[in-house]
């Protein structure tokens, strides 16, 4: 028996000494602030706790070594320090998804025992073992720094007398008001920072069972036999499932129905992310043990894992009877041939970009449980109504028998759009009539969800002797892997954004979306645009070198402005691009080695599809209002946007507002994607608020009078069209955001600063705006320098989190975010989406900085430095 102290209480442990402290805390004691982000690899820091006064990783600490130990988690921190750090993480915007936050807080705790106030560099060094995928660390460091300052000021006050006091450690500044534009703290940020707000894996219910999935060993193989006889005998196993157990549709998909929930005997696998069987057992360990006992007999088949080979005649077809070219999207206008003949300068190169893992800190997890007449699903997916529709189809039940509640997730970045484990959890729960949780390990997560597309681009760009861009020709291929996901839409963005932030009179662009036997590619922040902007902006610098043009001026002279048209012919309004260029001009000119790149990114799916949002605002009592909407909170702050909009419109106190996202609200909503949620929901709330204000006026401002009433609001954009549609005034997207970024290198070639100037229309919340841009720049720098999810012959070369190349705090340069507010005609208060554009120009600016530094042109990401 091992006895130890946990958060000041004596606890005994009698189990296997090999079990990790993290497992014990979470599963035996229900202490869930330490999170599991890397499945015991010890590389993410989300499980950091304090053991005997030192920050340690609970996932790497075995119970056998803990006799007599004192373990502290955020739950057991001294209450003043807990309040201080929790509040400062909220006030400074250090919490986006918040999955990493308790780990950072526990890592930071030791700094409060320092003899003197640690410097900012000390803080950065200290938190370096922990990874945050959302924030770029800047606001985490800010929060720790300001907490330490408050703490040390108080300490000095006690040491030197009341005259030296600045303020009490427990005394917090008043929160900024929720008025639009203010740095109002994120919804539930304090609870999230401290680990009190549950993610799906933190939820435990009575009789809960655990599911685990058996993945294909081979990218392409005939499944000859699945033998589960041994697995079924393992004590604790409730049932083994295969594809034959699926009552409804075996095959699902967001756009194209091509993705089997499980592969049946007699069918072939298409990638290593395919599931061949599932197990439900009384514990997760038992379910995983049983997976090893399932024998799958394969006949390994030839796979096609190279996108160039996949488009060649004679290639095997990934999907029988279907071309590997899923879609070819093209735009042509002007006389490109002639423009290239007449050009004074041309730049031609082949550019390639790599596969990228989203690496959201929270891996996929779903909890399904039986409810009268049906099921409830707790999902961290990016669209609860889409989850419901797809799963109802799989189970062959009416949609109204399935209720899906969105649990704020630990990062998505597009990687939680497709169904992952939600379908399996529901299937198992439905067939067993038991609550079932299915969670992926980090390694499983990497093999299952779609990635950022690797894209091959043969780009040619021309300009005249005066430096005016005259023509572009692009042939691109995107490896969309085994399943369509939203791959065609990603490659359509490559086409639609190939002219970047510039006006070009002649265009010949095509992009193929190609099936291979690799892990699927799909949505990821930027959605194809960072790829093509890397190629375009590299070509622009090449033209500048050839023609002796100033790189800033060349961009300014060609930049999109009001009335100019994109590659798709859409005439733009509210274009703040030139203002973003002006904002960085001086710093760019002053720097010895600097790269510059511009970007444009659509808001909304557009392309002839509907962008809409509804909202229901329920007055439960005079002390409680619930905003029901359908968008997923994944760290970006949509719930906060909802609260700020309602407060702005009605003046109602934000502290009485709650947010609910569940299909029971009956407001079907699409996927949280394309940087669109704030614009659409904001407009819907403004609509609802008109009627609320009328009623409030009638009631003399009394909320009590409105108790029991629900007000609906709606915004609909149904007027976009596909590129190439027969119209003189094509509108492909309802809005766009614009940006210019500058990357500055020091004399050793290290990145010393990034300046990110972004036109956000109206900046709804300055702190969240900065956080989105800083986090996206962090992701963009990783994209440029270090991140790469390599595959060979359809297999991952690594499935370790530490090998993904995600930049750590010490590697993150300072980022100066400059906000430009050029009003958008459609966005609420003139706002434009900002979720994705932050990383659109980053890799291109890095590549151009290194060319400026050493004169070497680099055409492949990550850059070869
Ligand atoms: Fe750090 Fe999301 S806020 S991982």
Tens digits of residue pLDDT in 137-171: 999 999 999 999 999 998 887 776 544 343 444 44
Q: Treating both helix axes as pointing N-terminal to C-terminal, what angle do 138-160 and 120-127 enclose, rounded to 10 degrees?
A: 120
User: Would you state the pLDDT for residue 271?
Assistant: 98
Distance 801 CA to ligand 1 centre (A): 15
pLDDT at 725 > cutoff 90: no
| DSSP codes joined into one string, 734-784 | SEEEEEEEEEEE-TTS-EEEEEEEEE-SS-SBHHHHHHHHHHHHHHHHHHH
Q: What confidence category does residue 373 fall into, taking pLDDT thresholds of 50, 70 and 90?
A: confident
The end-to-end CA distance of the chain, in Å, is: 54
Q: What residues form DSSP beta bridges with 436?
A: 209, 368
Nearest to 403 by CA among 663, 632, 630, 629: 663
**pLDDT tens by residue, 654-674:** 999 999 999 999 999 999 998
Quote the pTM value: 0.96
User: Would you state the pLDDT for residue 160?
Assistant: 67
Mean pLDDT of 277-289: 98
Distance 90 CA to ligand 1 centre (A): 13
User: Would you state the pLDDT for residue 569?
Assistant: 87
User: Ligand 1 pocket, 588 CB below 6 A?
Assistant: no
User: Ligand 1 pocket, 412 CB below 6 A?
Assistant: no
Question: Measured from the CA of 94, which atom of ligand 1 is nearest?
Answer: 3
pLDDT at 173 > cutoff 70: no
Q: Distance (Å, rounded) from C-alpha 35 to C-alpha 378? A: 18
Q: Distance (Å, rounded) from C-alpha 101 to C-alpha 359? A: 16
Reduced to 3 states, what is the DSSP secondary structure of residue 87? helix
Q: Is 334 exposed, middle or buried (0-12, 13-18, 19+ CB in 10 A)?
A: middle
Q: What confidence category does residue 329 fall into, taking pLDDT thresholds of 50, 70 and 90?
A: very high
Please answer whether residues 178 and 643 qualify as being in contact, where contact means their C-beta atoms are separated by less than 8 angstroms: yes
Closest Cα to atom 1 of ligand 1 = 132
Distance 99 CA to ligand 1 centre (A): 5
User: Ligand 1 pocket, 411 CB below 6 A?
Assistant: yes
Mean pLDDT of 66-72: 98
Which secondary structure element, helix H or strand E, spans residue 636, and what is its range? none
User: Ligand 1 pocket, 99 CB below 6 A?
Assistant: yes
- Reported residue count of the chain is 865
Reduced to 3 states, what is the DSSP secondary structure of residue 539? helix
User: Would you state the pLDDT for residue 161?
Assistant: 56
User: Ligand 1 pocket, 133 CB below 6 A?
Assistant: yes
Mean pLDDT of 330-357: 97
User: Ligand 1 pocket, 98 CB below 6 A?
Assistant: yes
Distance 410 CA to ligand 1 centre (A): 7
Please answer whether residues 661 and 700 qualify as being in contact, where contact means their C-beta atoms are separated by less than 8 angstroms: no
* Helix, strand, coil shares, percent, the chain, to 5: 35, 25, 40
User: Would you state the pLDDT for residue 163?
Assistant: 45
User: Ligand 1 pocket, 100 CB below 6 A?
Assistant: yes
User: Ligand 1 pocket, 635 CB below 6 A?
Assistant: yes
Measured over the CA atoms of residue 121, residue 127, residue 131 and residue 134, the dihedral's sign is negative
pLDDT at 273 > cutoff 70: yes
Q: What confidence category does residue 443 fall into, taking pLDDT thresholds of 50, 70 and 90?
A: very high
User: Ligand 1 pocket, 132 CB below 6 A?
Assistant: yes
User: Ligand 1 pocket, 408 CB below 6 A?
Assistant: no
**pLDDT tens by residue, 774-809:** 999 999 999 999 999 999 999 999 989 999 999 999
User: Would you state the pLDDT for residue 171?
Assistant: 47
Q: What residues form DSSP beta bridges with 650?
A: none
**pLDDT tens by residue, 374-429:** 999 999 999 999 999 999 999 999 999 999 999 999 999 999 999 999 999 999 99
User: Ligand 1 pocket, 599 CB below 6 A?
Assistant: no
% of the chain exceeding 70 in pLDDT: 98
Of 46, 94, 101, 634, the one to substitute when testing ligand 1's pocket (max ligand atoms within 8 A of C-beta) is 101
């Amino acid at each position: 028996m091992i006895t130890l102290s946990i958060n000041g209480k004596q606890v005994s442990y009698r189990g296997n000494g090999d079990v990790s402290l993290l497992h014990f805390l979470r599963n035996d004691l229900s202490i869930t602030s330490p999170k599991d982000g890397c499945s015991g690899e010890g590389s993410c820091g989300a499980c950091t706790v304090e053991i005997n006064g030192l920050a340690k990783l609970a996932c790497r600490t075995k119970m056998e070594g803990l006799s007599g130990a004192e373990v502290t988690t955020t739950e057991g921190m001294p209450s003043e320090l807990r309040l201080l750090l929790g509040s400062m993480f909220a006030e400074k915007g250090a919490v986006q998804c918040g999955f990493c936050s308790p780990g950072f807080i526990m890592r930071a705790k030791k700094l409060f025992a320092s003899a003197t106030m640690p410097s900012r560099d000390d803080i950065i060094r200290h938190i370096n073992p922990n990874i945050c995928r959302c924030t770029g660390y800047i606001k985490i460091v800010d929060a720790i720094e300001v907490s330490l300052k408050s703490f040390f000021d108080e300490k000095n006050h006690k040491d030197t007398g009341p005259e030296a006091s600045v303020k009490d450690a427990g005394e917090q500044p008043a929160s900024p008001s929720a008025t639009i534009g203010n740095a109002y703290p994120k919804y539930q940020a304090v609870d999230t920072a401290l680990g009190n707000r549950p993610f799906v894996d933190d939820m435990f219910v009575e009789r809960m069972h655990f599911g685990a999935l058996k993945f294909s060993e081979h990218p392409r193989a005939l499944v000859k036999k699945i033998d589960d006889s041994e697995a079924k005998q393992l004590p604790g196993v409730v049932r083994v499932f295969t594809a034959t157990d699926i009552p409804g549709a075996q095959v699902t998909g967001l756009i194209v129905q091509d993705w089997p929930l499980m592969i049946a005997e007699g069918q072939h696998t298409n990638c290593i992310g395919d599931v061949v069987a599932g197990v439900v057992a009384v514990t997760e360990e038992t379910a995983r043990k049983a997976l090893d006992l399932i024998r799958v007999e394969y006949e390994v088949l030839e796979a096609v894992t190279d996108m160039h080979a996949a488009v060649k005649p004679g290639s095997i077809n990934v999907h029988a009877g279907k071309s590997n070219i899923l879609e070819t999207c093209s735009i042509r206008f002007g006389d490109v041939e002639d423009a290239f003949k007449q050009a004074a300068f041309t730049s031609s190169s082949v550019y390639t970009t790599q596969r990228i893992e989203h690496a959201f800190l929270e891996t996929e997890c779903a909890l399904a449980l039986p409810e009268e007449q049906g099921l409830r699903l707790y999902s961290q997916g990016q669209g609860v109504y889409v989850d419901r529709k797809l799963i109802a189809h799989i189970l062959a039940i009416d949609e109204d028998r399935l209720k899906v509640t969105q649990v704020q997730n630990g990062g998505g970045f597009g990687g939680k759009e497709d169904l992952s484990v939600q379908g399996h959890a529901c299937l198992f729960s439905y067939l067993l009539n038991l609550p079932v949780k299915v969670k992926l390990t980090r390694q499983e997560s990497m093999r299952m969800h779609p990635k950022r597309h690797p894209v091959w681009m043969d780009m040619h760009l021309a300009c005249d002797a005066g430096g005016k861009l005259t023509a572009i020709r692009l042939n691109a291929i995107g490896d969309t892997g085994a399943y369509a996901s939203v791959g065609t839409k990603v490659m359509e963005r490559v086409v639609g954004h190939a002219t970047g932030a510039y006006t070009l009179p002649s265009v010949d662009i095509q992009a193929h979306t190609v099936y291979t036997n690799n892990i699927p590619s799909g949505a990821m922040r930027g959605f194809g645009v960072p790829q093509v902007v890397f190629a375009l902006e590299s070509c622009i610098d090449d033209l500048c070198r050839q023609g002796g043009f100033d790189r800033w001026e060349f961009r300014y002279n060609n930049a999109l402005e009001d009335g100019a048209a994109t590659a798709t012919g859409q005439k733009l309004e509210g274009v703040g691009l030139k203002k973003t260029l002006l904002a960085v001009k001086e710093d760019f000119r002053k720097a010895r080695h600097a790269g510059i790149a511009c970007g444009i990114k659509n808001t909304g799916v557009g392309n002839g599809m509907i962008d809409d949002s509804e909202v229901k605002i329920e007055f439960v009592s005079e002390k409680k209002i619930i905003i029901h909407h359908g968008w997923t909170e994944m760290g970006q702050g949509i719930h906060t946007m909802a609260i700020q909009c309602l407060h702005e419109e009605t003046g109602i106190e934000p502290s009485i507002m709650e947010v609910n996202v569940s299909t029971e609200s009956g407001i079907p909503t699409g996927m949280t994607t394309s940087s669109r949620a704030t614009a659409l929901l904001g407009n819907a709330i403004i609509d609802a608020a008109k009627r609320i204000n009328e009623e409030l006026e009638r009631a003399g401002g009394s909320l009590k009078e409105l108790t029991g009433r629900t007000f609906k609001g709606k915004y609909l954009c149904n007027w976009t069209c596909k590129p190439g549609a027969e119209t003189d005034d094509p509108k492909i997207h309802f809005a766009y955001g614009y940006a210019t970024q500058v990357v500055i290198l020091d004399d050793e070639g290290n990145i010393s600063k990034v300046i990110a100037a972004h036109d956000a229309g109206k900046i709804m919340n300055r702190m969240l705006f900065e956080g989105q841009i800083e986090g996206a720049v962090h992701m963009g720098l990783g994209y440029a320098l270090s991140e790469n999810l390599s595959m060979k012959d359809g297999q991952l070369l690594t499935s370790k989190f530490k090998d993904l190349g995600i930049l750590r705090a010490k590697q993150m340069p300072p980022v100066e975010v400059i906000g430009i507010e050029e009003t958008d005609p459609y966005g609420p208060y003139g706002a434009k989406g900002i979720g994705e554009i932050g990383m659109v120009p980053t890799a291109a600016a890095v590549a151009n900085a290194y060319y400026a530094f050493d004169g070497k042109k680099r055409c492949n990401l990550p850059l070869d430095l």
